[in-house]
Structure 1
Amino acid sequence: MARAVSTQRKLTFTAIAWLIGLIIFFPILWTFLTSFKTEGEAIASPPSFLFFHWTTENYAEVQSRSDYLSHFMNSVAISFGSTLLGLAIAIPAAWAMAFSPTKRTKDVLMWMLSTKMMPPVGALIPIYLLFKNFGLLDTRSGLIVVLMLMNLPIIVWMLYTYFKEIPGEILEAARMDGATLMKEIVYVLTPMAVPGIASTVLLNIILSWNEAFWTLNLTTSNAAPLTTFIASYSSPEGLFYAKLSAASTMAIAPIVILGWFSQKQLVRGLTFGAVK
C-alpha cells in the first residue's frame, strides 16, 4: 500500500526542486543576458540583471568574425557520428555481456568503466602522435573515432543495464523460430530496448557536443566544432565577456533545445527497468 504524502510535504519538495533547478539554470540565464550587454556593462560592478541597454551587436560581431555554421556542422557531424559508431560497437558487446556472460564479464565492465577515471591529458601525447602519423589531425573522422572511444564505456554500461531487464526467454523463443544472431539483435532485442537506446543516444550526443579537451587539442580550423568556436573568444589581452557570452549562447542553444524537447524520452530511458 502506498504511503500517503501530505499536501504541505508535496509543496515543500516542489519548492526545493524548483530552487535547485533555478540555481543550476542561473549560469545559463546569466550568460544569455550578458550576451545582450555591451562590454562595459558586462564587467560593471554591481552587475545589472535586467535593466541595461539591450543590444544585439555582439551576435552580429561574432557572426562576422567567425563562421558559426561551419563550426555548427562540425559539431553535428562529430557528435552524431561518434554516437552512431559507438552504438554499432556497443549493442553487440552489451548483448554478449547481458545474455552470454562469463565469469569475467563484471571484471571487464569494471575495467571499461575504470578507463573513464584516467585524466584525458594522460593519453594526449600518444593519441596526438597517432593522429599526426596517420594524417587525422584536424579531421572530422579523427574526432569521431576518439570521441567514440572516450564515450564507449558509458554506452556499453548503459545498454548492458537496459538489456539485463529484457527477459532472456524472449530471445530464446526467437532462436527457436529460426532467427539468426543478427536478426535477434536487430528485430527482437533492439526494438524492446528503444527507450534505453534513445536515452543512451541523447546522453552521448550531449557529452560529445560539450567535449572540449580533445577538440581543442586535435583541431585547428577545418574540423573545429563549437567548443573551439567559444575558445576563440579568449585572447591574451583578456576576455571579452559580452562577445564570449554571445558565442557561448549560440553554441549551447541547439543542445539545450534538443534536451528540452527530448527530456521525457531521456527520463523514460534513464528509468527504464527501474520499476517492475
Structure 2
Amino acid sequence: MARAVSTNRKITVTVIAWSIGFLIFFPILWTILTSFKTEAEAIASPPSFLFFEWTTENYGIVMERSNYFLHFMNSVVISVGSTLIGLLIAVPAAWSMAFVPGKNTKNVLMWMLSTKMLPPVGVLIPIYLIFKNVGLLDTRTGLVIVLTLINLPIIIWMLYTYFKEIPVDILEAARMDGANLRNEIIYILTPMAVPGIASTMLLNIILAWNEAFWTLNLTAANAAPLTAFIASYSSPEGLFYAKLSAASTMAIAPILIMGWFSQKQLVRGLTFGAVK
C-alpha cells in the first residue's frame, strides 16, 4: 500500500521545487528584461527589475547590425544535421551493444564516455589545421562533422540504456518470423524505442545548439551559428549589456520554445524504462 503524503509535505515540496526552478530560470529572465532596457539602465546601480523605461531599440539595432536569420539557419542546420547523422550511426551501434553478447560492452561504453573528458582545447590545433587543409573551415559541413563526433558517445550511451529495457524475446520472435537485421532494427526495435530516441534527439539538438567552443574557433562568417552571433557583441570598447542581452534573447528563444513544447516528450523519454 502506498504511503499517504500529508498536505503540509506536499506544500513544502511544491514551494521548494518552485523556488529551485525560479533560481535556475532567473538568469534567463534577467537577460530578457535587460534586453528591453537602455544601456544606461542596464548598468545602473542598484538595478531596476520591472520599473524602468521599456524599449525595443536594442532589438532593432541588433537586426540592423547582424544577419540574424543567417546565424539562425546555420544553428538549425548544424544542430539538426549533427543529431540526425549521430542517430543513424548510434542506433545500430547501440543495438549491437544491447543485444549482441559480448564481454567488453561496458568497457567500450566507458571508453566512449571518457572521450568527453578530454579538454577540447587539447585537440583544437590539429582539427583546425585539418579543416583548413581540406577546406572545411567555416563551413556547415565541418561543424556538422565535429558536433556529430562530439555528441556521438552521449547518443550511443542513451540509446543503449533505452534498448536494454526492450525484451529480447520480442526481437527473437521477429527473427523466427523471418525478419532480417535491417527489418529488425527499422520495424521492430526503433518503433518500440521512439520515446527514448525522441528524447535523445531533443537533448542532443540542445547540446549542439549551445555549443560555443568549436563554433567560435572553426567559423568566421559563412557558417557562424547563433553562439558566434552572441559573441560578436563583445567588443574591445566594452560590453554593451542591453544589446548583448537582446542578442542572447534572440539566440535562446528558439531553443526555449522548442524545449517548452517538447518537455513532456523529453521527460517521458528520460524516464523510459524507469518504471515497469
Q: SS in structure 2 opposite 1:58?
A: helix
- 1:60 is aligned to 60
- 2:215 is aligned to 215
- 2:179 is aligned to 179
Q: String of CA shifts for 1:193-226, please: whole Å, max 9, x gaps.
A: 0000000000000000000000000000000000
Q: SS in structure 1 opposite 2:30?
A: helix
Q: Which amino acid aligns with 2:64?
A: S
Q: SS in structure 1 opposite 2:47?
A: coil
Shift in Å, 1:130? 1.1
Shift in Å, 1:101? 3.2
- 1:263 is aligned to 263
Q: Which amino acid aligns with 2:190?
A: T
Q: Work out the CA distance in 2 between the residues paired with 1:236 and 1:61.
A: 19
Q: Which amino acid aligns with 2:132?
A: K
Q: SS in structure 1 opposite 2:169?
A: helix
Shift in Å, 1:24? 0.3
Q: Which amino acid aligns with 1:161?
A: T
- 2:167 is aligned to 167
- 2:229 is aligned to 229
Q: Work out the CA distance in 2 between the residues paired with 1:263 and 1:210.
A: 18
- 1:197 is aligned to 197
Q: Work out the CA distance in 1 between the residues paired with 2:120 and 2:102.
A: 30
Write the mapping of 1:1-276 to structure 2, written as runs, cut at 5 A.
1-276=1-276
The number of aligned residues is: 276
Question: Structure 1 stretches (4+) deviating beyond 3 angstroms?
Answer: none
Q: Which amino acid aligns with 1:118?
A: L
Q: Which amino acid aligns with 2:266?
A: L
Q: Work out the CA distance in 1 between the residues paired with 2:156 and 2:114.
A: 13
Q: Which amino acid aligns with 2:154?
A: I
Gaps of at least 5 residues in structure 1 are none
Q: String of CA shifts for 1:107-162, please: whole Å, max 9, x gaps.
A: 00000000011111111111111111110000000000000100000000000000
Q: String of CA shifts for 1:63-108, please: whole Å, max 9, x gaps.
A: 0000000000000000000000000000000000000031111100
TM-score scaled by length of structure 2:
0.99
Q: Work out the CA distance in 1 between the residues paired with 2:63 and 2:101.
A: 53
Q: Work out the CA distance in 1 between the residues paired with 2:8 and 2:196.
A: 35
Q: Work out the CA distance in 1 between the residues paired with 2:101 and 2:16.
A: 43
Q: Work out the CA distance in 1 between the residues paired with 2:241 and 2:204.
A: 29
Q: Which amino acid aligns with 1:70?
A: L
Q: Work out the CA distance in 2 between the residues paired with 1:151 and 1:105.
A: 19
Q: String of CA shifts for 1:223-256, please: whole Å, max 9, x gaps.
A: 0000000000001111000000000000000000
Q: SS in structure 1 opposite 2:203?
A: helix
Q: Work out the CA distance in 2 between the residues paired with 1:52 and 1:254.
A: 26
